[in-house]
Structures are given as C-alpha cells and as structure tokens.
Amino acid sequence: MYSKMVSSEAKAKEVREAQGEYPSLVGLNMKYIADRVLEHDASKSTRHTKLNNVRFIGENAIRLAKYSYRLVDALEIPNEDQVSKVKRLVLGKLAQFLRDAGALFNKHEANEADLNDLDQCLDQYFNLYCLFLPEGGNLTVWTVSKAIQYFARKFHDEYGVGYGVVSMQGKEAKNAKVKDYLKLTNHSKAEGKSNKYHQVFRSEYMVTFYLPEHSPSPSQYRPHFNARVPSQVGTPGYCDCGRKIVRSTGGLAEDQEDDLAEEQDDEVQVSLCPFCLEALEVVACAKEGELTPKMTSILLPDVCDVCSLRFAYGEKLADHKKKTHGNTERAVVPHVRYMPFDIDINVMQRERLIAELARLGKPTTGSVATLRTRLQKACCSQK
C-alpha cells in the first residue's frame, strides 16, 4: 500500500514538473485533488474516462462552492464561439445558484425570507439544467432542486428550525453520541419508559432543547458552519458572484458596447461584474423557464424546413428529416404555406401562441411547449 502511494506521488510530481508549476486547481486550494486530476489527464488511456478516487465532500466541496467562479473563469479560451460562451456562462450561474442555496439550506435557523430566496435559487438552478444542459439532468439534480426545497419549508413550518439541523455532519455526530449513550443501560427489551431508547432520547431532548431554552446563562453554542459565500461578497467593489466589479465591457465590439449601455442602466453596470453582465440573458431564461429567441438561435441553429423544429447539430436535423418526413424531396413544401408567420413558432412567446391558436380555433391552454406543438400540428394540417 505504501509503495503504491509513493509511486502515485512520484507520478504526480513528474506531472507538476512537466507543467512547470505546483497546481492548486485554479485557486481552490485543493492541491491534493489537483495532483490527481493532472495525473489522470496526463495519460492518454485515462484522460477520457471517469476520474476515480476523488470525492468532492466536506471541506473540498465547500471550497469548490466558495471559489467556483475561479474555476469557471479558467475555462475561458481565446476566440470562444457563441455556444461555448453560453455554456460557460450557464456553468458559472449554476455554481452560483447552488452555492447560495447551500448557504441557505445549511442554516440551523431560517425565516420566511430565507425560504423564499432558497426557492428562487433552486428553481433557477433547475431551469438552467433543463434549458441548457438537459443531458446533464439526473435524479441528484431533481433531489437538490425539489426535495430539499420541500423539506426545508416543511421543517420550518412544523418545527420552526432550518434544514441545517439534519446535515450529514450533524447526523453523524448525533449517531455517534447516541451509540455511546446506549452502552449505559441494559434495559433494551423493557417496555414503556424504562426502555433504553426512551431514556436516551429523553436525555437528548433535555440536553439539546429544554435546558438551553430555560437556562438563565447565555448560550454556549459555538457555530461550526463554514461559509459557502466568499468573504468579499457584499463589500463595495465586488459582485454577488465573488468577482471584482470592473467598468469593462468584457472585450465586446463597439456596436455591442453601445447596445449593452442602452440595455443596462448605470446602477446595474456598477453592481455587476463583466461576467454577470454577459450572463443577464441566461438568468432571464432561468427566471422565465424558457429560452429567449436569441438563445434559441444560438443553441439550436439548424431549422427543419418542413416542420420548423430546431436542432443543435446538422446531423440531428438530417436524422429527423429521414425518420419523420421520409422522402424529403416529396415532403418539402413552401414554408409560407404551412408556417404563415413572420417568426419561427419555436421562438414565439405565450401571448403570440395563444393569439394564433385562438385564430385557428384551437385550445389555448397548456405550457409553452404544448402550445408550440399544437400550433405546429395545426399549421401542418392546413391545405
């Protein structure tokens, strides 16, 4: 075992010397994990596989949440295309929403304002995944977005406490303490109040709740909570994401600078960093729960000339035409005949969709996606 550890450290050292520096994983202060990442990526046989023996838990998870903006900034490359830029902005906002949510649901005491902020953060976190990274959505994303949101409010409404009272560290400490208590009595099979579990939990209640509430002395509790939010957040000159506010346009062209200046007032430009200014439309999509026309055209540039469905890649469009429309030469018809609108159905907003469906005598209830599908079918059925 020791020889394997020495060999691993030697490989990591070789990688560091090849890189010319001792990495700290882009300012996250996780050098141990950085060594493992470099060692994993240095080998052609492992760089495209899952990184094993590395778990972002405990202090490492808190550091990653606290300084994730540094990691996101390190992903920027020269001559970045629009799709890569949008996904980098989305990743930065995902990390920020998750960081803020973690700071809220790890509190031992919570109020209604905290719960409302938690709902907003987790809803936007979930919407970003669904809109921009649907292939990355899984049960963990849903649990974080929906289950924690539900139980945090349930704990507050029924017990008046924050969700942080059931943190993993708290449960582990509690279990160890209860296990020691159980060694003090042999009444494990007794019934009623002489049962050892009844005795243990009554003692725990007295120590944890009753005595602190009725004691005349000041509380001796010392919080051990590690902040997820960087210390500079909330101070003048720093954005909520942790970056420094700089009156800069982030390398935009002159015409884009003028457009940005017209769209954002002075107060917004002073309170946001260049990254968050660029991510304003991404945040707008997360709040509304749907892509804006601009984001739709960036992420789904290829449009089917038969049904106007949009796709991210030309290969998917060709596969769609082959499977859905069969012989495209026979299926292709003039676009105006089937889609007599000035804009694409897939970028129409709810008000326009309802108006067009009402004009065609179709139902106008349902989600935006349902309305768009219904309007597409109605238009394709017209002769």
The answer on pLDDT for 268 being more than 60 is: no
Task: Report the range of poorest mean pLDDT among 21-30, 249-258, 266-275, 281-290.
Answer: 249-258
The answer on pLDDT for 16 being more than 60 is: no
CA distance 88 to 72: 7
Q: What is residue 81's predicted lDDT score, i.e. its pLDDT?
A: 87
Q: What is residue 271's predicted lDDT score, i.e. its pLDDT?
A: 79
Q: What is residue 282's predicted lDDT score, i.e. its pLDDT?
A: 93
Q: The tokens 């649990």 sit on which residue?
A: 143
The highest-confidence range among 24-38, 135-149, 241-255, by mean pLDDT, is 135-149
What are the pLDDT digits (tens) for 316-336? 888 888 888 774 444 333 333
Categorize the per-residue pLDDT at 6 as very low, low, confident or very high, splitting at 50, 70 and 90.
very low
Residue type, 369: A
The highest-confidence range among 33-42, 133-142, 202-211, 371-380, by mean pLDDT, is 133-142
What are the pLDDT digits (tens) for 86-113? 999 999 999 999 999 988 888 878 889 9
H/E element holding 35? Answer: helix 31-42
Helix (H, G, I), strand (E, B) or coil at 303: strand
Q: What is the DSSP letter of 185?
A: -
Query: In the chain, where do the E strands start and end?
Result: 302-303, 310-311
Domain range list for the chain: 2-54, 62-164+229-293, 295-380
CA distance 33 to 24: 8
What are the pLDDT digits (tens) for 211-235? 777 777 765 555 555 678 888 888 8
Q: What is residue 41's predicted lDDT score, i.e. its pLDDT?
A: 81
Categorize the per-residue pLDDT at 1 as very low, low, confident or very high, splitting at 50, 70 and 90.
very low
> Under 8 Å CB-to-CB from 63, ≥6 apart: which residues?
28, 29, 30
Residues 56-73: what's their mean pLDDT?
A: 83
* 94, 127 Cβ separation under 8 angstroms: no
Residue 26 backbone class (left: φ over 0; alpha: ψ -120 to 50; beta: rest): left
Percent of the chain with pLDDT over 70: 69
* 306, 329 Cβ separation under 8 angstroms: no
The answer on pLDDT for 338 being more than 70 is: no
130 phi, psi to nearest 5 deg? -65, -35
CA distance 344 to 166: 49
* 241, 276 Cβ separation under 8 angstroms: yes
Residues 330-356: what's their mean pLDDT?
A: 61
What is the 3 state secondary structure string of 213-281? HHCCCCCCCCCCCCCCCCCCCCCCCECCCCCECCCCCCCCCHHHHHHHHHHCCHHHHHHCCHHHHHCHH
Residues 27-38: what's their mean pLDDT?
A: 75
Tell me the pLDDT of the chain averaged across its residues: 75
What are the pLDDT digits (tens) for 165-199? 676 555 556 666 666 666 665 555 666 666 767 77
Q: What is residue 118's predicted lDDT score, i.e. its pLDDT?
A: 92
Q: The tokens 């160890």 sit on which residue?
A: 176
CA distance 127 to 286: 5
> Under 8 Å CB-to-CB from 61, ≥6 apart: which residues?
none
